[in-house]
């Protein structure tokens, strides 16, 4: 008998980092299918290009840090898949590469690779190219337009409904078109029904938890209801604010990133609320219609602090109660028995 020794527990849940990442990939694939239907084969080429650059950059970063390559780690594939989906289908291959490289070589690897990064690599990459080439990133082709596979795109580009909203105008989108994604916008972020199904899938699989995404969406809806930006009915205002830009995509795929969000439940709810408020403030007072990635980057920086806050909160409450002469019996039970 050849017996191995391992430490307890000897049974483990069947989920690993790999299955979590595979879940993300599974939920991103339908978006690529939709992008293919609306924008042709170029969308798929952009996706493959993003993945290739991301994996190469990630391997380079790991080797530069002189660590062992982990072939089972799929996090770079997820980053590479998400970046093109947040950009227009007419985007040049160079811009995609720059976004991915910035995300991985600046926002992820210098902090220590998988699980150590403070800022979401995808959000960082998108933020970088949005600020660098706003004309290219924020001008979109019409769905079902003919797009060349390589080289400069000759199709006519124009601003998205989010831009009209930003300028104080009223965008006109048919509700059915809005659900199906048949309006101008990032190549993977407009398919509201598909993204909602992805969110449902991820929630049911418990790959993401409701603690972040639902408060985030809730706060956005409430703020859209209370402070509509143009002369809109409340239902229109909520629909346009939530679904016209990349906000809904961000709520499902960016803000739920386990690495950069807080770990405690109360902190997660607070994090989602803060991100929602910041996103809406960006929309009201910011210079660009792209707000969600900037808001996410800012709350990313706060997540460790929020965690610390929720860690001391119970102690603080106990202390205040004791100070006020109540709750002497509130001592949290401390099981002393060892198993």
Partner 1 sequence: MFSRSHKGGVLLQQNKEPAFSRETKRFVKPDGFQYIEGRKPAKEGETLPPQEIIDIAKQAQIVDERDGVFLWRKLQDGLEGQKLLTVLGDALDDEPYVSSQMNPMVFYPEQAAAGLRLAAQALGTEKMAFVVYREIFDLRKPLPKQIGNIPVWALKGRYPSEIYLNLDLAAESPFPIGVCALIHLSRAVYENRVQTTCFLTVAGNCVATPSNYEVTVGMTASQIFDRSGLADDPTRIIAGGPMTGVCITDPDTFRVGPTTRALLALRENERDQHFSCIGCGRCIDACPVGISPYHLYHNIKKGRYYQLDRYHVQRCIGCGACSYVCPARLELSYLIFEAKKQKYIQGEGGSEQ
Q: Indicate which single residue of 64, 65, 116, 144 sits in contact with partner 1 (rule: CB under 8 A).
A: 116
Q: Is the dihedral of CA 256, 262, 265, 268 positive or negative?
A: negative
Question: Alpha-carbon distance 162 to 171, whole Å?
Answer: 8
Q: Indicate which single residue of 227, 235, 263, 287 sits in contact with partner 1 (rule: CB under 8 A).
A: 263
CA dihedral angle for residue 275, residue 296, residue 291, residue 88, rounded to 10 degrees: -140
Q: State phi, psi for 69 to the nearest 5 degrees.
A: -70, 135
Q: Does 335 bind partner 1 (CB under 8 A)?
A: yes
Q: Indicate which single residue of 266, 277, 288, 298 sits in contact with partner 1 (rule: CB under 8 A).
A: 266
Smaller CB separation from partner 1, 226 or 320: 320
Question: Alpha-carbon distance 48 to 45, whole Å?
Answer: 5
**Site size for partner 1 (CB under 8 A):** 51
Radius of gyration of the chain (CA): 22
Q: Does 313 bind partner 1 (CB under 8 A)?
A: yes
Q: Does 305 bind partner 1 (CB under 8 A)?
A: no
Q: Is 283 exposed, middle or buried (0-12, 13-18, 19+ CB in 10 A)?
A: buried
Q: Indicate which single residue of 170, 258, 305, 326 sits in contact with partner 1 (rule: CB under 8 A).
A: 258
Residue 126 · residue 68 · CB < 8 Å: no
Residues 138-177 that bind partner 1 (CB under 8 A): none
Q: Is 138 helix (H, G, I), strand (E, B) or coil?
A: coil
Q: Does 9 bind partner 1 (CB under 8 A)?
A: yes
Q: Report the number of secondary-structure helices (H) and strands (E) in the chain.
A: 14, 2
Q: Does 59 bind partner 1 (CB under 8 A)?
A: no
Closest CA to 122 of 287, 259, 304, 269: 259
Per-residue contact string for residues 71-90; x = within reach of partner 1 by CB under 8 A: -xx-x---------------
Q: Is 38 helix (H, G, I), strand (E, B) or coil?
A: helix
Shortest reach from residue 9's CB to partner 1, in Å: 4
Smaller CB separation from partner 1, 59 or 242: 59
Smaller CB separation from partner 1, 82 or 194: 82
Q: Indicate which single residue of 29, 41, 94, 115 sits in contact with partner 1 (rule: CB under 8 A).
A: 115
Question: Interface with partner 1 by CB under 8 A: which residues?
Answer: 1-13, 15-20, 70, 72-73, 75, 113-116, 258-266, 268, 307, 310-311, 313-314, 317, 332-339
């Amino acid at each position: 008998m050849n017996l191995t020794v391992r430490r307890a527990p000897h049974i483990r849940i069947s989920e690993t980092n790999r299955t979590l990442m595979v879940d993300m990939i599974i939920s991103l694939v339908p978006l690529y299918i939709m992008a293919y239907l609306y924008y042709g084969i170029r969308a798929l080429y952009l996706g493959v290009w993003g993945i290739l650059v991301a994996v190469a950059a990630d391997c380079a970063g790991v080797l530069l840090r002189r660590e062992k390559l982990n072939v089972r780690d799929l996090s770079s594939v997820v980053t590479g898949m998400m970046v093109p989906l947040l950009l227009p289908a007419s985007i040049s291959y160079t811009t995609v590469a720059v976004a991915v490289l910035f995300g991985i070589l600046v926002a992820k690897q210098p902090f220590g690779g998988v699980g150590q990064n403070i800022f979401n690599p995808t959000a960082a990459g998108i933020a970088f190219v949005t600020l660098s080439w706003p004309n290219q990133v924020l001008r979109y082709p019409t769905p079902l337009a003919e797009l060349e596979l390589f080289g400069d795109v000759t199709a006519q580009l124009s601003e998205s409904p989010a831009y009209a909203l930003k300028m104080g105008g009223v965008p006109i989108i048919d509700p059915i078109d809005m659900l199906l994604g048949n309006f101008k916008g990032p190549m993977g972020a407009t398919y509201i029904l598909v993204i909602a199904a992805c969110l449902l899938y991820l929630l049911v699989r418990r790959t993401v938890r409701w603690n972040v995404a639902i408060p985030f969406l809730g706060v956005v809806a409430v703020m859209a209801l209370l402070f509509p930006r143009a002369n809109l009915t409340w239902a229109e205002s909520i629909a346009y604010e939530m679904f016209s830009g990349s906000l809904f995509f961000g709520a499902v795929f960016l803000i739920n990133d386990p690495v950069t969000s807080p770990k405690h439940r109360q902190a997660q709810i607070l994090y989602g609320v803060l991100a929602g408020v910041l996103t809406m403030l960006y929309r009201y007072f910011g210079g660009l219609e792209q707000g969600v990635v900037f808001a996410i980057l800012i709350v990313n920086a706060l997540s460790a602090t929020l965690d610390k806050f929720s860690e001391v909160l119970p102690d603080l409450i106990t202390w205040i109660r004791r100070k006020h002469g109540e709750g002497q019996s509130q001592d949290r039970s401390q099981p002393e028995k060892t198993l």
